Amino acid sequence: MRNPHAGIPFGTSTAEIAEALQDVSIPTLMLSLVHITKNPELIRGALKPAGLFLNEVQGYMSEEDKAEVRSLALDIIADYRDAGCPETEPVSDALLHEMMNWLVCEEVPDEYVPMLREEMGLEGKDARSVETKTSRAAKADFPVLVIGCGESGLLAGIRLKEAGIPFTIIEKNAGVGGTWWENSYPGARVDVGNHFYCYSFEPSDQWTEYFAQQPELQAYFESVMKKYDVDPHIRFETEVLAARWDEAENHWRVDVKTKDGTTETLSARAVISAVGQLNRPFIPDFPGAESFTGPSFHSARWDHDVDISDKRVAMIGAGASGFQIAPTIAPNVEHLDVFQRTAQWMFPNPNYHEKVGSGVQWALRHLPFYGRWYRFLILWPGCDKGLEAARVDPNYPDQQRAFSEMNEFTRQMFTDWITSQIPDDSDLLAKVIPDYPATAKRTLQDNGAWLNALSRDNVELIRTAIDHIETDAVVTVDGTRHLADVIVYATGFHATKMLSPMEIIGRDGVDLRAMWGERPAAYLGITVPNFPNFFCMYGPGTNLAHGGSLIFHSECQMRYIAQCLEFLITEDHATMEPRQDLYDDWHERSQREIKMLGWSQPTVKHSFYKNADGEIHIVSPWRLVDYWGWTKEIAISDFIVE
Ligand SMILES: Cc1cc2nc3c(=O)[nH]c(=O)nc-3n(C[C@H](O)[C@H](O)[C@H](O)COP(=O)(O)OP(=O)(O)OC[C@H]3O[C@@H](n4cnc5c(N)ncnc54)[C@H](O)[C@@H]3O)c2cc1C
């Protein structure tokens, strides 16, 4: 990483700087000024943000205060430019903490500061990369196989390369990006702000939108892959079918199938599964679906050869993907029927479709630490606060409506957001207010596009269940035939069938998926007894429903895995696997914890988090700060080592 304290000289004119400052987050700018001037008094006066809310990046400052900061900043930045952008000095721990508190208008607890400092990378070093002490020869004897090349698998490749451990990544698709390779449907975009949803050590200042769309996300992962020269290690269009532990040789034997259908068996001392939780499309079994004569496809397999303009489109399912598709295609199709089982709660986010202005991009590139503080600003409101808010108060009277007083407050806020957009007498109103507590399923980001789309004359929201499909129509249980030229299945993924359809066989022939059934578990979401040298990224119990970014989780997991590999190689051990008692205890505690959270409640009938028995095993019930702490350093005593 470049020394972030060393400025890169720029020649932007004072008038252009003034123009740029119109765009920027003023509280974030203030902290950059503290770095430039080394003067903390700047944030000890009357000019300060007034409050914090997710995606509210101006801290509710008044226009007058913002203007005053801009004028102050202009002189400071012009001087900084004229001095050739001299190196800034690292701030003390105490000042760093003060700056954090100031930006988010509350006391950031001490326990978070080291995690946040690391995430922000203020020292300019990649603190999650693992230093290796082992000789090249020892490493050469320890090939690692990574399954999948989404953000997790790519990160694994970057870390293994840094460590000098030989590795191969097997990826079934023709390119990198996983989720962001496959989900090319119209409107696909991230719903965690991109200045946080990117690797901590590779913070792009290029994003053109705050919540980037799929092509830009895929291009980001592609550029990172090239920058770190991981591509020569990837075998694209090759799928892992099975992995078997060879007890005699202490190797994994991994069966792969290449594009031309040939199979081969690869050997590795360790396997990292990075196959994601949302990678295998799920389409419900609707009677007659095969008789439909028009094109039909899953949202993650969007058929770009099908011209949907001026067609009647039936979109079945309106969860996270459908919610993005409908507003994007509605203006182009003749008619759109949206079949939705349950209404979704939406989080009001006016920035959701906003472009990153040129002023912000200039600040990200030129103002010391602007981008790092901006990352912190969008990270913090979603950092563990959602978990507290998800906690169920069993004594709260109407659990169908809300599971706690705080949850009732959220319900009101979300309901106000819906009712502010549609008239009281609209038929739509009854269909779009969910009948389960707010945040109890994945909450979607919304800037008004969803209800705007549903209010169009050419769009109908259908909440009646589907009975069957005919050659030219979707037929609901009330007998209505909804004519369709094209069917889009926005019906989600086999989320609870972890690692499916691979066959993973560990010691004594134990079949991982059979052992798990619909109750997958891994110690810290990473390792499983009887599966030596087998590591999961985005494994069981690591999906994030309460906030944060999965890239943060992946970085925690890969640091932990890299330490395991380093331990095995340095100490010349053949295998490691977690102790059964710790694994059982982890699963038991995780289950106990998750049952006390909103997502588990019986009031939520359908949710992709839940298995067939209504239990949740794929989502993390833990605070980010705890997970970060638990995965920061491996405890050898947690493992059985041979
Ligand atoms: C539509 C959609 C929107 C999302 N939006 C967000 C969001 O806004 N914020 C957020 O934090 N998360 C979001 N997610 C979750 C997202 O999956 C993660 O953020 C992240 O991309 C996971 O990365 P990954 O590498 O772990 O898994 P994936 O991205 O799923 O990548 C897994 C890779 O493994 C490959 N693979 C699978 N099986 C095999 C096999 N047997 N052999 C070879 N290769 C295999 C796949 O082809 C794929 O490339 C979203 C998911 C979806 C589906």
Please report, rounded to a whole number, the percentage of residues in the chain having pLDDT higher than 70: 100
Q: What is the mean pLDDT of residues 259-281?
A: 97
Whether the CB of 193 sits within 6 Å of ligand 1: no
Tens-digit pLDDT profile for residues 540-558: 999 999 989 999 999 999 9
CA 179 to centroid of ligand 1, rounded, Å: 4
CA 139 to centroid of ligand 1, rounded, Å: 29
Query: Quick one: pLDDT band at residue 4, thresholds 50, 70, 90?
Result: confident
439 pLDDT exceeds 80? yes
Whether the CB of 153 sits within 6 Å of ligand 1: yes
Whether the CB of 254 sits within 6 Å of ligand 1: no
Mutate which of 179, 220, 497 to test ligand 1's pocket (most atoms within 8 Å of Cβ)?
179
CA 602 to centroid of ligand 1, rounded, Å: 28
CA 277 to centroid of ligand 1, rounded, Å: 7
Please report, rounded to a whole number, the percentage of residues in the chain having pLDDT higher than 90: 92
Whether the CB of 255 sits within 6 Å of ligand 1: no
Tens-digit pLDDT profile for residues 65-100: 999 999 999 999 999 999 999 998 889 999 999 999
Tens-digit pLDDT profile for residues 397-422: 999 999 999 999 999 999 999 999 99
Which is higher by pLDDT, 139 or 340? 340
108 pLDDT exceeds 90? yes
Whether the CB of 274 sits within 6 Å of ligand 1: yes
143 pLDDT exceeds 70? yes
Protein residue closest via CA to atom 2 of ligand 1:
179
The Cα-based distances of 573 to 69, 424, 444, 532, 639 in angstroms read 59, 68, 46, 11, 12
Angle made by CA atoms 275, 269, 229, in degrees to the nearest 5:
60
Query: Quick one: pLDDT band at residue 130, thresholds 50, 70, 90?
Result: confident
Mutate which of 550, 551, 557 to test ligand 1's pocket (most atoms within 8 Å of Cβ)?
550
CA 607 to centroid of ligand 1, rounded, Å: 18
Whether the CB of 178 sits within 6 Å of ligand 1: yes
What distance in Å separates the CA atoms of residue 195 and residue 212, rounded to the nearest whole number?
Answer: 10
Which is higher by pLDDT, 132 or 324? 324
7 pLDDT exceeds 90? no
Q: Helices (H), strands (E): how many in the chain?
A: 20, 21
- Rounded to two decimals, the pTM is 0.97
Protein residue closest via CA to atom 30 of ligand 1:
276
Whether the CB of 147 sits within 6 Å of ligand 1: yes
Whether the CB of 476 sits within 6 Å of ligand 1: no
- SS3 of 603, please? coil
Protein residue closest via CA to atom 37 of ligand 1:
275
CA 589 to centroid of ligand 1, rounded, Å: 27
The pLDDT of residue 300:
98
What distance in Å separates the CA atoms of residue 296 and residue 306, rounded to the nearest whole number?
Answer: 9
- On whether the CB atoms of residues 129 and 159 are closer than 8 A, the answer is yes
Whether the CB of 170 sits within 6 Å of ligand 1: yes
DSSP line for 606-630: --TTB-TTS-B-SB--S-HHHHHHH
CA 523 to centroid of ligand 1, rounded, Å: 21
Please state whether the peptide bond connecting residue 501 to the residue before it is cis, i.e. omega within 30 degrees of 0: yes
Q: What is the mean pLDDT of residues 458-471?
A: 98
Tokens of 363: 């600040």
Whether the CB of 443 sits within 6 Å of ligand 1: no
Tens-digit pLDDT profile for residues 149-159: 999 999 999 99
DSSP line for 421-441: TS-TT-THHHHHS-SS-TTSS
The pLDDT of residue 401:
96
> What is the residue type of 76?
I
Protein residue closest via CA to atom 38 of ligand 1:
275
Tens-digit pLDDT profile for residues 154-204: 999 999 999 999 999 999 999 999 999 999 999 999 999 999 999 999 998
Query: Quick one: pLDDT band at residue 472, thresholds 50, 70, 90?
Result: very high
- SS3 of 66, please? helix
Mode of pairing for the β-strands spanning 486-489 and 296-298:
parallel
435 pLDDT exceeds 70? yes
284 pLDDT exceeds 90? yes
The pLDDT of residue 450:
97
Least-confidence region, from 114-123, 273-282, 492-501: 114-123
Tens-digit pLDDT profile for residues 555-609: 999 999 999 999 999 999 999 999 999 999 999 999 999 999 999 999 998 899 9
Cβ-based neighbour number of residue 607 at 10 Å: 21
CA 149 to centroid of ligand 1, rounded, Å: 9
1 pLDDT exceeds 70? no
The pLDDT of residue 2:
65
The pLDDT of residue 3:
67
CA 550 to centroid of ligand 1, rounded, Å: 10
The pLDDT of residue 397:
94
* The three-state (H, E, C) secondary structure of 320-371, written as one string: HHHHHHHHHHCCCCCEEEEECCCCCCEEECCCCCCECCHHHHHHHHHCCCHH
User: Interhelix angle for 113-120 vs 624-632, to 10°?
Assistant: 80
Whether the CB of 43 sits within 6 Å of ligand 1: no
What distance in Å separates the CA atoms of residue 393 and residue 620, rounded to the nearest whole number?
Answer: 19
Whether the CB of 491 sits within 6 Å of ligand 1: no
The pLDDT of residue 132:
78
DSSP line for 389-411: HTB--TT-S-TTT-SSHHHHHHH
- Mean pLDDT, all residues of the chain: 96
CA 544 to centroid of ligand 1, rounded, Å: 13
Whether the CB of 173 sits within 6 Å of ligand 1: yes
